[in-house]
Chain A
């Protein structure tokens, strides 16, 4: 019995020692938007290489979850693909948290279709009617005589919010619209379906799908940066109060020329 106790205590001590060792370096926790995730991930990897003492723990979960985590203190940086909402600010104030936004990149949202679809150009108005379910056939917008399958994001994602604001102007998406839970899933569905239309962040674009020009303007780094491309939004990292120490250093890295090069490499639009 005694021997067992001794083994138990010894192993407990080892466990605590190990715990202590893992915490010697500084740790930054980053949570939030899946849109910002690829940028944060690449930036964190580069940053950790040059700062061996710093450990960055990264997870997605969505803008809302990130801000939620910032408010309850379980993260240092909250990634968000939208600005903080009034309700969230109120909740933060109640808990004594003061969210400070840092603009880190610009994201352009691109409507995409199957490569076999001949449509090249749509106006915001046409896309709005398609998403409201009022235009139901591709021939109404200059395509083949085929039903339009509308693919949308879940109504609470940041990407959807931008789409709702800039394309739908607050009109309701048809309930027949398909729902996919991520940018990647939308690319996957559109690349396999010649009836479908979807939208994704510029960073997720690949050759398996075809982009549509919006009001005659092609989505690209240049057009989004110059502001001529109509469906673009800034991406944020939120901190509690003005950041200090390592957190401040990391955010400075993200907005530095080196960090913005990463932003560009991930397919987003750098700030300058």
Chain B
């Protein structure tokens, strides 16, 4: 067997595996659309997305997912408000300020956080955080936007922190040295040189963290409370899209309107995550640093 022949075989094997994974992903998307689109024969796209009433099992049914979309967006937004400062600042601390020994402890600890199964975090939110919130703030329910945002933030922090840290780490040493040589303090160097240089990587981290929050199912199912109404305060319950799909899919009669409506909700969710990923991609290519700093 000649070397060249081997080379060709290896190349084709890898090509085949790459193709298979893309092909399977493609099939999933096709399936999603095939199962979701028939609902639009029953209800218009506008009524589906902006309808305020979600009563899929009644006769006549209402398929309006606006409260679910609002739920998803609010929960994502609030969890980012908590997770972004925590994630980015901890990344800055770990990569720029921390003593190497401290770094050795902190970095795996944060990454360990990513390994906690979401159902465990959900259970924590339900059994520990919810009663505590309810008692402390004297609320009718502890399963609300605040609770779910905190839990989702805990899940997003490791993503944001470790990707940001990689971005900060890949800022070339010369930048830092040049900054110090010009007489800048450590804070000035971090705030005006290192962070701006790593901004594209940090933005990508933030958006991927948000995408994780918007697609998370188990936590929102357990902790968000599940009220399919537009919330009036941050202590109201909401029902994000994944929670609705997970809770109802098991009992929805096969190929019924309800079943199709749940898949169509999946399509909306798909476009939202796709949108997040496209932004992440755009930012990381558009603001890519030239020269030795690349991520």
Residue of A nearest to B143 (CB): A178
Residue of B nearest to A71 (CB): B254
**If the complex has contacts A158-B251, A188-B126, A192-B127, are A179 and B226 also in contact, measured as CB distance less than 8 A?**
yes
Beta-carbon contacts under 8 Å, B246-285 to A: 246-248, 250-256, 258
B222 interface hit (Cβ, 8 Å):
yes
**If the complex has contacts A156-B57, A179-B243, A181-B247, are A64 and B126 also in contact, measured as CB distance less than 8 A?**
no
Contact residues in A for B222 (Cβ distance below 8 Å): 185
Contact residues in B for A149 (Cβ distance below 8 Å): 140-141
Task: Please tell me which stretch of B48-56, B97-105, B172-180 contacts chain A, meaning at least 4 of its Cβ atoms lie within 8 angstroms of it.
Answer: B48-56
Residue in B127, B239, B250, B251 whose CB lies within 8 Å of A188: B127
Pair B246/A179 contact, Cβ less than 8 Å: no
Pair B55/A179 contact, Cβ less than 8 Å: no
B82 interface hit (Cβ, 8 Å):
no
Contact residues in A for B141 (Cβ distance below 8 Å): 149, 178, 193, 195-196
Beta-carbon contacts under 8 Å, B62-100 to A: 67
CA distance A179 to B222 in the complex (A): 9
Contact residues in A for B126 (Cβ distance below 8 Å): 185, 188-189
CA distance A155 to B227 in the complex (A): 12
Contact residues in A for B140 (Cβ distance below 8 Å): 146-147, 149, 193, 195
Interface residues on A, range: 35 or more
Pair A155/B246 contact, Cβ less than 8 Å: no
Residue of B nearest to A189 (CB): B143
A172 interface hit (Cβ, 8 Å):
yes
B215 interface hit (Cβ, 8 Å):
no
A180 interface hit (Cβ, 8 Å):
yes
A-side interface residues toward B, CB under 8 Å?
61-65, 67-68, 71, 85, 87-88, 91, 146-147, 149, 154-158, 161, 164, 170, 172, 174-181, 185, 188-189, 192-193, 195-196
A-B contact pairs, 26 of them (CB 8 A): A63-B251, A64-B250, A64-B251, A67-B253, A91-B254, A147-B140, A149-B141, A154-B247, A155-B56, A156-B258, A157-B251, A161-B57, A174-B229, A175-B67, A175-B229, A176-B227, A176-B236, A178-B227, A178-B237, A179-B227, A179-B239, A179-B247, A189-B126, A189-B130, A192-B142, A193-B141
B-side interface residues toward A, CB under 8 Å?
53-59, 67, 126-127, 130-131, 134, 140-143, 221-222, 225-229, 236-237, 239, 243, 246-248, 250-256, 258
Known: A149-B141, A156-B56, A175-B53. 5 other contacts (CB 8 A): A64-B254, A172-B55, A177-B227, A179-B225, A189-B126
